[in-house]
Amino acid sequence: MLSSAPSWFLVLADGPGAEIVADRVRAEYGSVREISHPSDRPWVIGHWEESEVAVFRGRDEACAAIGEHDMPPGRLAGLGAELFGRATASAPGSFHVIGSRPGRVCVRGTASGLRRVFHAVVDGVRVASDRADVLATLARAEIDRQQLALLLLYVVPWPLPFRSVWSGIEVVWPGHTLELDHHGHAAQHRWWQPPAAELTLAEGAELLRARLREAVELRTAGKRRVASDLGGVDSTALCSLAARSGAEVVAITATSPDDLDDDIRWARDTVAGLGSVEHVVIGADELPLTYDGIRTTDDRFDEPCIVQVNKAKLEAVCHRSVDLDTQIRFVGFGGDEILRVSWGWLHATVRRDPLTAIRTARRWSAKHKYPLWRVGMQMAGNKSYREHLTDIADNIVSTPAWAPDPAINWGLGIISPPWLTTGASETVRDAIRECAKDAEPLAQDRGLHQTLEQLYGVARGARLCQQFARRIGVPTAAPYLDDSVVGAALSVRPPERVDTGRYKPLLAEAMAGIVPETSRHRGTKANTSAGVARGLRRHRGDILALLENSRLAELGIIDSAAVRDLCAQPLLIDKHRASLDLTIAVEAWLRGES
């Protein structure tokens, strides 16, 4: 069997090799869905729900959309034209677009990277897919040890975390279109650029409100009963929009073992204000803790991801959504990344508007207890992105600083797990230095670069969460990661979104008249550290067992004795939690691949 994934597809160029690959897929996988080129050769083949696909056909061209969309033929024809550069078209939702012309195909995912595209050579034919593991199986690709070692670092700078863990599997960057021809040539073309940040807060709030409402109503259309997380302000907005969509809404609040977590109080106020929402509260004692179930996996992901350490808890909420007879569940992934302003914004602002930058720097420094002189030194720095990568490669540390500098330049430094072997350490340094030779930032503005880097990171996790949610039976929707919503949020001038006296002012303004006033101006955010600490105590034995006979150790990447020794120390949670979580994620993924 090619993949245990409930959904995947392959895209084949319009050439004689298409039938060769398609025959192999049919033979090895059995029952698959297929869409043909106008020439009748195989074009798209895989496994998906019929409701996810829309197809437009012209005389010698075709366009398909797969995912969450409402795609009438005219709009889909416009998207097909956009793929090949003839026109500009857009549509709400989250989906892949695939175009066909004689001898050529184009494939694109989403600007956030939630829907990704990979390509590889299979039986001499260049093939694209939305899943790297499907391609890896067909191409008999080996795991890339260097990339596994890089994924143990915190924080891995762009573009290193987006490279495939499979040798020979190429990645299409977010916001780019892949074009294949029947000769096997592949090229990437940028189709999405961050919008110019020119709107005022009022203008941006109006646009964001319209785009979020459209994104939610797209998913609730035709559905009788939907679920929505109800915890922080991002999920509160989605729940409130869903409550006005006409579908029955079940709000789900998963409580924390932390007595100071106030999500439940705000959730109850929201439900009372909405008046039409069923509220289900899942007690902390009903949910698995962090690290529960790390020794077993029911999924084959196409890359490791840190969500693995909380997968059992996330799955439990998915199962409750199934029990509640809901058809889709809204989640707030991406809200933090597109609604907040990164520290790097100060770097460009101090050169354009010094008074605004200095005033904001003083407020942020006081709020986060950073010495103002350190913030000033970072604002004055002017290293190129390539210099930044070289610098952090030369200064990797194994123990995080208690008070690291704020990331005003390009980003944070790198923390390496102290159990990484000497050979693996040299491998990752070499990889970063090699990348630095021709690396380009995601944007020349450091704040926008950081925002996009964080956006791509959360989309990676959300993508894998969607994979296991779909297997369980209720797909999750992440409207904040829709192209249209991302564009709306980023089109607002950063100074308009910065307010140290208000939490996410853009969302608060956008939700006027939608989120109950008792909840709309909430300024707190829950902290998960209590649950993590409790999970570490309870599941320390599972962590030790997972790392016994470690696959990572067999590959020469970690010293399993060193990590097991550190796991027995009480301060691990403070010093090395991120490193431990990343190591667990990669180790668990390797076990699933064996």
Long-range contacts of 56-65 (CB under 8 A, 24+ apart): 56/80, 60/101, 60/102, 61/99, 61/100, 61/101, 62/35, 62/37, 62/38, 62/99, 62/100, 63/97, 63/98, 63/99, 63/100, 64/35, 64/97, 64/98, 64/99, 65/91, 65/95, 65/96, 65/97, 65/98
Residue 300 pLDDT? 74
* Residue 307 CB contacts under 8 Å (≥ 6 apart), including other chains: 314, 461, 464, 465, 585
* Residues forming a β-bridge with 251: 228, 279
Domains 8-190 and 201-338+449-526 share a fold: no
Note whether 204 and 212 are within 8 A (CB). no
Q: Residue 409 is which amino acid?
A: N
Architecture, CATH, for domain 8-190: 4-Layer Sandwich (3.60)
Residues 244-295: tens digit of each pLDDT: 998 999 999 998 877 667 889 999 999 999 999 999 999 988 999 999 989 8
Instruction: Could you list the beta-strand ranges (E) of 90-224.
Output: 94-101, 104-108, 117-122, 125-129, 170-172, 176-181, 186-190
Q: How far is CA 462 from CA 115, 161, 297, 465, 479, in A?
A: 10, 15, 17, 5, 11
DSSP code string of 422-436: HHHHHHHHHHHHHHH
- Residue written as tokens 């929505």? 228
What's the burial of 3, exposed, middle or buried (CB within 10 Å: 0-12/13-18/19+)? buried
| Signed CA dihedral, 265, 266, 272, 278: sign only | negative
Q: Is 1 exposed, middle or buried (0-12, 13-18, 19+ CB in 10 A)?
A: exposed
- Identify the CATH assignment for 201-338+449-526 out of 3.90.79.10, 3.30.590.20, 3.40.50.620, 1.10.580.10: 3.40.50.620
Encoded amino acid at 169, one letter: I
User: pTM for this one?
Assistant: 0.95
Give domain limits for the chain: 8-190, 201-338+449-526
Q: Among candidates 107, 104, 136, 106, which has minimal Cα distance to 120?
A: 136
Q: Which element (helix H / strand E) includes 314?
A: helix 311-323
| Mean pLDDT of the 102-125 span | 94
Give the pLDDT confidence of 185-226 residue by residue, as tens digits. 999 999 999 999 999 999 999 999 999 999 999 999 999 999
pLDDT at 522 over 60: yes
Tokens coding 561 = 């004795």
Secondary structure of 494-547 as H, E, C letters: HHHHCCCCCCCHHHHHHCCCCCCHHHHCCCCCCCCHHHHHHHHHHCHHHHHHHH
pLDDT in tens, 524-565: 776 667 778 888 888 988 999 999 899 999 999 999 999 888
Mean pLDDT of the chain: 91
**Torsional sign, CA 491, 113, 223, 310:** negative
Mean pLDDT of all residues in 474-491: 96
Looking at the predicted structure, is the pLDDT value of residue 402 above 80? no
How far apart CA 117 and CA 174 sit, in angstroms, is 9
Phi, psi of 229, deg, nearest 5: -60, 145
- Report, as an integer, the average pLDDT of 123-149: 95
Instruction: Quote the pLDDT of residue 2.
Output: 46
Return d(Cα 180, Cα 37) in angstroms, integer: 14
- Only one residue has tokens 């990164």, namely 342
Looking at residue 3, its pLDDT comes to: 45
